Structure formats: structure tokens, C-alpha cells
Amino acid sequence: MKNTTICIASMLGGVIIGSALAMLFTPQSGPELRHKIKDLIDDEVEKLKSKATQAHDQLKAEIEQARCKCNEE
């Protein structure tokens, strides 16, 4: 499990670094490039927020189920 997590984190880090380098070496103006990078970061932040919200909601539901089971006994 730990090795898998490290592998996935390394792969994601490589993808992010590779994407940033690709954007830096493309022939674009500075403001245009900064806008693209900002948009990319904003999209990734939104994805992470969405996943965090889903995980939070799922955890709340599981806690509520556990409470119901405890109250039944």
C-alpha cells in the first residue's frame, strides 16, 4: 500500500512538472502563459475540492450509519 501511494504520488508529480515545463518552453507570450497556468491550477484545485467534498460526505454517511447501528443495539 505504501509503495503504491509513493508510486502514484511520484507519477502525479512528474506529470505536473512535465506539464509545467512543456508550457514554459512553448512559444507563447508571458501573460498568455501565466493565464494558462492559472487556469490549469484553478481546474486542479476545483477537482481536489470536489473530491474532498465527496470524501467528507461519504465519511459523514458512514458515521451516521455506525451511530444508527449503535443505537439499535
Q: Give the pLDDT of residue 27.
A: 76
The dihedral built from the CA positions of residue 52, 7, 9 and 36, taken in this order, carries a sign that is negative
Annotated domain spans of the chain: 2-72
SS3 51: helix
Rounded Cα–Cα distance for residues 5 and 11 (Å): 10
Containing H/E element for 62?
helix 30-72
Q: Give the pLDDT of residue 73.
A: 64
Taking the whole predicted model, whether its pTM rises above 0.85 is answered as no
Rounded Cα–Cα distance for residues 7 and 11 (Å): 6
Per-residue pLDDT of the chain (73 residues; tens, 9 = 90+): 567 888 888 888 888 888 888 877 777 777 887 888 889 889 999 999 999 999 999 999 888 888 887 777 6
